[in-house]
Structure 1
Amino acid sequence: MTDTQQNNISPGTGWQPVYIKKSRGAGFWVAVGLASFFFLCTLLFFILFVGSLVLNKALVTSTSLSARKHVEETVIEGSGESKVAIIPIKGILSSESAEGIFLEKPSIVEIVKQQLDQAADDTQVKAVLLEVDSPGGGITASDIIYNQITKFKTETQKKVVVYMQDVAASGGYYISAAADAIVAHPTTITGSIGVIMPLINVAELINRYGIKDNSIASGNLKEIGSPLKQMTADEADVLKGIIDELYLQFVNVVSTGRNMDLEAVKKIADGRIYTGKQALEKGLVDQLGYLEDAITLTKQLAGLTEATIIRYEKHYGMADLLGLTSNKLFQQNTIRLDISQLQDQSDTRPMYLWNGYSKRE
């Protein structure tokens, strides 16, 4: 029945108008689909968020033994009840944890301690082989790891050998000096014994654009290291004194660890880097070789004829993977000239770091 027919029906004839429901258009179903999609995404995100909070709470409140179990053993080779544990120490040495979306990834300092503790508690582990691939990093982080290694050796009487990979420079060498022996890969870059305090000065740049720094300080040396002011002679003297003290600490560590005369160490500790071969000639390493050579030496020092070689590895859960993914997701490849950014980059912390090292993930 058409609309015209419906309109022509007079009241009282017994006929009732019939209304025909129009079908939904394509736009309606697209809207429904999008709404459902966003609802499911929100629900999934909420479930993951709640789950990650529960997991984070469990990790934080768990005992140290439970935390250690999160690091698993992977058998590399060999057999027998006695084990040699390989512990990797890779990247910039830092005490700071890496933030993800849900969970924080433990710092390298925490990871090394966790794995050394696990090796200490395992009576089957007779020795540890540290795989070092690091240009160094923070002075405190380097010293903490060094102390962890020396403490492990003292308390367990287990041997520790370092196997240097691509780079074991500055703080990477600092921690290596704690080992009973050092094996360097033939292509290893090591050395860089010294301290660096990166400082950027943009005083002339900001003056060019009419920017003035009106900071108010309580003393002449309060703004020491500021990138917005030219460094004074007094400021330079203060910073140089700090650098000299931390440098002396570094050379003392090398002198003790390598059983070398302090003055002899100073002669080769001018900050330069060395190849594995040059380091061997200078007495900074014990031999050149590959991983299998380092394993053989470790077994010899531990008095083992056979051993199961294991590697400690962290297996990431869903929350860890989400955290790691977020770091990649939000990385910026653009370069901006920003004063606050320059201030962050001009961090006045001294470091045991080979500044020439650059690694892209």
Structure 2
Amino acid sequence: MPPAPPVVAVLRLDGVIAARGGLRGKGLSIAGLAEPIERAFRLKDLAAVALVINSPGGSPVQSALIERRIRQLALEKNVPVLAFAEDVAASGGYWLALAADEIYAQEASIMGSIGVVSAGFGFTDLIRRFGIERRVHTAGTSKAMLDPFRAEEPGDVERLKALQLDIHDGFKDLVRARRGARLREDDEIFTGAVFTGRQALARGLIDGIGDLRQVLRERFGTRVRLRPVGERPRRRFGLRFPGLASRLDPIDLLTDGLNALEERAIWARFGL
């Protein structure tokens, strides 16, 4: 009786990385991915776990939590992990790719963006136009740092910059630790610059140019079985409209609109 063909779990990581989903409940977070990650490593005859990544980044905390959970299970189960970038695996998306032992991309994939960015909106002129007075009372001089309804304070910006630099240092440490001797550092690699797949390969940010099916068939043979693993659809009973009342609230509608704009801006940084 011939041995069972090798199985590769395929886990798709598609979207902006955030603690909460977007308007349609989409997005990548440890809360949404913990169970699919566990299932991926529980498959029978498992030869490897493949991560298919299409993400422009987002929350560094969620990126770290997802990457760490994948690494923990890879070590516990002694299963190799391979990452395959599609359109973009940049910033937090590249952070996710670092969970893999090997990273592959297409020639035109957008990779890298090893940096930290904070973005938001300021409404000081808007509330002034409508005669709205902003009232904030704090115990602690930094408690209302960067309140979007108040003018920016230089000291607040300096504190934010210090936080960003610390997170950036952690990102760089992870890249160096995971890529090791394969990494070929230059003046651009940690500036937040982005690279094509070909440029990323030259810098040692990835291990090769190739797609999921091609690489896995070369690695495990033509009998390899790819098993997609993802979030299970939520059950719905009857005609229910969860959150409808809150969606009619003007503040919630404004917040949702701004979140959608912010999500769109993250993708737009990479021309997508």
TM-score by length of 2: 0.79
Q: What is the rounded CA distance, in whole Å, between the counterparts of 1:226 and 1:83 in structure 2?
A: 50
Q: What is the rounded CA distance, in whole Å, between the counterparts of 1:166 and 1:144 in structure 2?
A: 23
Please, which of 117, 130, 148 is the counterpart of residue 69 of structure 2? Answer: 148
Q: Which deviates more, 217-226 or 249-258?
A: 217-226
**Per-residue CA shift, 1:31-68, capped at 9, x if unaligned?**
xxxxxxxxxxxxxxxxxxxxxxxxxxxxxxxxxxxxxx
Please, which of 106, 114, 137 is the counterpart of residue 35 of structure 2? Answer: 114
**Per-residue CA shift, 1:207-263, capped at 9, x if unaligned?**
344433232222332210111222222211211111111111111111111115999
Q: For 1:337-348, list aligned pairs within 5 A.
A: 341=254, 345=258
Please, which of 53, 56, 65 is the counterpart of residue 135 of structure 1? Answer: 56
Q: What is the rounded CA distance, in whole Å, between the counterparts of 2:113 and 2:9 in structure 1?
A: 28
Structure holding more helix per residue: 1
Q: In the alignment, is residue 84 of structure 1 matched against residue 11 of structure 2?
A: no
Counterpart for residue 94 of structure 1: 18
1:254–1:265 CA contact under 8 A, matched in 2: no
Q: Which stretches of structure 1, 4 residues or more, deviate above 4 A after TM superposition?
A: 97-100, 104-108, 260-263, 320-323, 342-346
Across the two proteins, how many residue pairs are aligned to each other?
262
Q: For 1:49-68, list aligned pairs within 5 A.
A: none
Q: What is the rounded CA distance, in whole Å, between the counterparts of 2:124 and 2:42 in structure 1?
A: 55
Q: For 1:146-225, list aligned pairs within 5 A.
A: 146-225=67-146
Please, which of 239, 243, 259 is the counterpart of residue 164 of structure 2? Answer: 243
Please, which of 221, 236, 246 is the counterpart of residue 319 of structure 1? Answer: 236
Please, which of 260, 269, 283 is the counterpart of residue 190 of structure 2? Answer: 269
Paired AA for residue 140 in structure 1: V
2:53–2:86 CA contact under 8 A, matched in 1: yes
Structure of higher CA gyration radius: 1
Paired AA for residue 154 in structure 2: A
Q: Which deviates more, 269-278 or 244-253?
A: 269-278
Q: What is the rounded CA distance, in whole Å, between the counterparts of 2:92 and 2:239 in structure 1?
A: 30
Q: What is the rounded CA distance, in whole Å, between the counterparts of 1:354 and 1:99 in structure 2?
A: 15
**Runs of 5+ in structure 2 lacking a partner?**
260-265
Q: Which deviates more, 105-114 or 169-178?
A: 105-114
**Per-residue CA shift, 1:111-167, capped at 9, x if unaligned?**
433233223333411211111111122222111111011102211111100011111
SS of equivalent residue, structure 1 residue 95? coil
Q: What is the rounded CA distance, in whole Å, between the counterparts of 1:218 and 1:108 in structure 2?
A: 32
Distance change (3 Å), C-alpha of 1:355 and 1:239: farther
1:200–1:342 CA contact under 8 A, matched in 2: no
Counterpart for residue 124 of structure 1: 45
Q: What is the rounded CA distance, in whole Å, between the counterparts of 1:340 and 1:317 in structure 2?
A: 24
Q: What is the rounded CA distance, in whole Å, between the counterparts of 1:218 and 1:143 in structure 2?
A: 31
Q: In the alignment, is residue 308 of structure 1 matched against residue 197 of structure 2?
A: no
Q: What is the rounded CA distance, in whole Å, between the counterparts of 1:134 and 1:321 in structure 2?
A: 34
Q: What is the rounded CA distance, in whole Å, between the counterparts of 2:236 and 2:27 in structure 1?
A: 13
Q: What is the rounded CA distance, in whole Å, between the counterparts of 1:322 and 1:313 in structure 2?
A: 25
Q: What is the rounded CA distance, in whole Å, between the counterparts of 1:229 and 1:259 in structure 2?
A: 45
Distance change (3 Å), C-alpha of 1:156 and 1:266: farther
Q: What is the rounded CA distance, in whole Å, between the counterparts of 2:19 and 2:256 in structure 1?
A: 21
1:251–1:265 CA contact under 8 A, matched in 2: no
Superposition deviation, residue 199 in structure 1: 2.8
SS of equivalent residue, structure 2 residue 117? coil
Superposition deviation, residue 294 in structure 1: 2.8
Percent identity for Structure 1 against Structure 2: 25
Superposition deviation, residue 313 in structure 1: 4.5
1:89–1:108 CA contact under 8 A, matched in 2: no
Superposition deviation, residue 358 in structure 1: 8.0
RMSD: 3.8
Q: In the alignment, is residue 356 of structure 1 matched against residue 258 of structure 2?
A: no
Distance change (3 Å), C-alpha of 1:298 and 1:117: farther
2:88–2:111 CA contact under 8 A, matched in 1: yes
Distance change (3 Å), C-alpha of 1:297 and 1:183: farther
